[in-house]
């Protein structure tokens, strides 16, 4: 697959569109990570 050398992971918000994330990970051979809401803002406040 030509994109494989460019795409290693995918980071998304917690949306319904990726309810089948295991299938997507397997088909694309990538790891999917889910972002935590406000995590960047929380770290800036500390």
**Does residue 15 contact residue 29 with C-beta atoms inside 8 Å?**
no
pTM of the model: 0.57
Average model confidence (pLDDT) for the chain? 76
Which secondary-structure segment (H or E) carries 11?
A: strand 9-12
Query: Percent of the chain having pLDDT more than 90?
Result: 0
**Cα–Cα distance between 31 and 11 in angstroms, integer?**
9
What pLDDT, on the 0 to 100 scale, is given for residue 44?
53
- Tokens linked to 25: 């990970």
Domain limits, the chain: 9-45
**Cα–Cα distance between 44 and 25 in angstroms, integer?**
31
Which tens digits make up the pLDDT trace of 23-40?
888 888 889 888 776 666
């Amino acid at each position: 697959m030509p994109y494989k050398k460019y795409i290693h992971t995918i980071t998304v918000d917690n949306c319904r569109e990726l309810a089948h994330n295991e299938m997507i990970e397997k088909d694309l051979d990538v790891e999917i990570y889910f972002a935590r809401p406000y995590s960047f803002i929380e770290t800036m406040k500390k």
